[in-house]
Structure 1
Amino acid sequence: MIGRRSLLGLTFCTCYLASHLTNKYVLSVLKFTYPTLFQGWQTLLGGLLLHVSWKLGWVEINSSLRSNVLAWLPASVLFVGIIYAGSRALSRLAVPVFFILHNVAEVLVCGYQKYVWKEKTSPTKICSFLFLVAAAGCLPFQDAQFDPDGYFWAVIHLFCVGAYKILRKSQKPSVLSDIDQQYLNYIFSVALLVFASHPTGDLFSALDFPFLYFYRFHGSCCASGVLGFFLMLSTVKLRSILAPGQCAAWIFFAKVTTAASSLVLFDVILTRAAVGCFLLGGLGEALLVFSERRSS
């Protein structure tokens, strides 16, 4: 019999894999590279589903959120930066490359904790950070499909992720639950991305998208929004039930599974040096998971 925690972990991994691969399909195969519209749609659908879930009593949302909007506003701005830059990066980079660069955000968070908050860092964690930075630093020189714009947006993405995590940690304990925070993120994201769709040119450029009236495109966009919502819910549930080290282990497993699947489903040119960077980055994240499990 599969235990409740294992079932939750497997559900999270399934949502993680399906969400990332669906997004990659829309962004790279269908080439719908209009991030204000794509991410605006995802956050709109996610916000609507979360609101309906609240009204049906499936999730709890603090009814006095308005008093906390200003305090959470910087985090919501960073959230928009995360999804916008992440969308632009993922449209140009292979999934394993995107993950290797994304993982550097953990180095920023722990570096801030060590040098600003004066927290102790274990030798294992320091070693994992060295591997993560080395893998990300060497990868651009070994990537046969190197795209400077993709790497640029990936760097913006990882800095936003790092700053978002630091901001969340600095506000603990918070009166806002994870669901409350995500609800505010959805509302602010929709408002900002809809407003930005015209200045960025996405609004009218999308009218020339060749698959605009194809069911394949409509189905993929709907799937991406629904899967993103369920990924958010499963992530919140995973963090509420499991210890940080166990959560990190499931996230690592989900990333490895998703990266391996992407190599089969999408065109990726692999070189020995690039594979070495992937393995080095995987080793760094595995050591980080090990250190998290020991400390939890």
Structure 2
Amino acid sequence: MGSRVMPQGAQDISDPFIERHLVIDTSKVNRNAERGGFTNREQNGVTDQVSSPRRSEIVNRSLSAVKSFGNDDIDLEGGDVEKDRDKTIRGSRIVKVRNQAVLSGLAYCISSCSMILINKFVLSSYNFNAGISLMLYQNLVSVIIVSILSLSGVISTEPLTWRLIRVWLPVNFIFVGMLITSMFSLKYINVAMVTVLKNVTNVITALGEMYLFKKHHENRVWAALFLMIVSAISGGITDLSFHAVGYSWQIINCFLTASYSLTLRRVMDTAKQVTKSGNLNEFSMVLLNNTLSLPLGVLLIFVFNEVDYLSTTPLLRMPMFWLVITASGFLGLAISFTSMWFLHETGATTYSLVGSLNKIPLSVAGILLFNVPTSLQNFASILFGLLAGVFFAKAKMREKSQS
């Protein structure tokens, strides 16, 4: 999958569409909402006492002439024209903001859903047995694109110094392990069950926060986590396409994803201190994570003996296959852009809720597109798990608002 940046406000860090996002502090994200830029016109009052109706009429007419000369937009009867114009401007700006929010939300949902589906397509439909190589190629595409954008001045990134690399390496090892286990599990498990099983990551993360950071959660949060566990167990029991190897990889992925989130919180402050600007923006983290993953990915290709497979598979001689995996690299990076755009236009609360709701159409699409055999019990377990994820997101929002 391509590299992404996950805002910390999006509480569901196990989201399969944004599992490669980096956790950042959304309290520092400044949402510059558009506000109406209207100028308040102050009218000077007449302090002279008018002794007669005739003088009063002359003064009023003079003031009306001056106002008319200074501002043709003001209606002499009561400013109706100006009020109508202000209402039109205000209404158009509100519509513009709402359109931007809807557009960014759709872009984020489409890119995130497409990413997981295209990975499933490559690994299952093409029967591509080199998940590490796929991860490596996608990350290489991300590095190339971000580097080009940085050199052209479109975005700004921090230089990758040795001090920064040494600080970041422990996080990157977990990051690569998280991506590889995700690829391995997705090859054997259908999209809907992967989505439900990833909810276990939230449970592990909550426990880690409690023991490592002494953070206490509300009863609603624990209730949602309990429902997630129930749905994962019932979904696995009723899964007609159950695969023990795939489920094992997915459980490992849940632990690695939770470890990534918890470790990153400790490393982030140190990493910022060793940068030249004292800050580490999202694009810098995307470039850093994906660049460091390349040599480690090459090493793992030899360790897992994917070189022999790559040298014999006919897939690498198919132009369409290269087009598909290149598109997956672009989609991975697109999630970085669309998630930041969506977060800017709305906020962490909406971002988190939409991320949870986005799992529902993804799961349905995964079942229909890949002809997954299912039963009523399994489908009910999947739906139950997805709704538990939405309940969890809302509980975390409530907990955050009260803290």
Structure 1 equivalent of residue 197 of structure 2: 101
Rounded Cα–Cα distance in structure 2 between residues aligned with 1:135 and 1:211: 37
The partner residue of 2:329 within 225, 247, 250 is 225
The partner residue of 2:377 within 260, 266, 273 is 273
**One-letter amino acid of the counterpart of residue 116, structure 2:** H
Rounded Cα–Cα distance in structure 2 between residues aligned with 1:199 and 1:171: 28
2:192–2:363 contact (8 Å) kept in structure 1 = yes
Rounded Cα–Cα distance in structure 1 between residues aligned with 2:169 and 2:344: 24
2:133–2:306 contact (8 Å) kept in structure 1 = yes
TM-score, normalised relative to structure 2: 0.70
Rounded Cα–Cα distance in structure 1 between residues aligned with 2:261 and 2:395: 18
Say if 2:220 is the partner of 1:124.
Answer: yes
Please report how far the alpha carbon of residue 264 of structure 1 lies from its aligned counterpart in structure 2 after TM superposition.
1.6
Q: 1:64 and 1:88, CA in 2 relative to 1: closer, same or farther beyond 3 A?
A: closer
The partner residue of 1:203 within 307, 320, 325 is 307
Matched-pair identity in %: 20
Say if 2:173 is the partner of 1:69.
Answer: no
Say if 2:86 is the partner of 1:11.
Answer: no
Structure 1 equivalent of residue 352 of structure 2: 248
Please report how far the alpha carbon of residue 239 of structure 1 lies from its aligned counterpart in structure 2 after TM superposition.
4.4
User: Would you identify which runs of 4 or more consecutive aligned residues in structure 1 move more than 4 Å?
Assistant: 239-242
Structure 1 equivalent of residue 68 of structure 2: none
The size of the alignment, in residue pairs, is 296
* Structure 1: runs of 5 or more not aligned: none
RMSD over equivalenced CA pairs, Å: 1.8
The partner residue of 2:187 within 91, 95, 106 is 91
**One-letter amino acid of the counterpart of residue 207, structure 2:** G
Rounded Cα–Cα distance in structure 1 between residues aligned with 2:340 and 2:313: 35
Say if 2:284 is the partner of 1:180.
Answer: yes
Rounded Cα–Cα distance in structure 2 between residues aligned with 1:78 and 1:239: 26
Choose between structure 1 and 2: higher helix proportion: 1
Structure 2 equivalent of residue 282 of structure 1: 386
TM-score, normalised relative to structure 1: 0.94
Structure of greater relative contact order (alpha carbons < 8 Å, 6+ residues apart): 1
* Structure 2: runs of 5 or more not aligned: 1-94, 273-279
Rounded Cα–Cα distance in structure 2 between residues aligned with 1:47 and 1:224: 14
Rounded Cα–Cα distance in structure 2 between residues aligned with 1:234 and 1:244: 14
Say if 2:300 is the partner of 1:190.
Answer: no
Say if 2:210 is the partner of 1:114.
Answer: yes
**One-letter amino acid of the counterpart of residue 286, structure 1:** V
Rounded Cα–Cα distance in structure 2 between residues aligned with 1:21 and 1:177: 28
After superposition, give the CA deviation of every residue in 1:100-130 in whole Å (9 maximum; x if it has no partner): 1112111111111123322221121111100
The partner residue of 1:59 within 138, 155, 173 is 155
**Matched residue of 2:153: which SS?**
coil
Rounded Cα–Cα distance in structure 1 between residues aligned with 2:286 and 2:160: 15
Rounded Cα–Cα distance in structure 2 between residues aligned with 1:24 and 1:4: 30
Structure 1 equivalent of residue 35 of structure 2: none
Rounded Cα–Cα distance in structure 1 between residues aligned with 2:224 and 2:393: 9
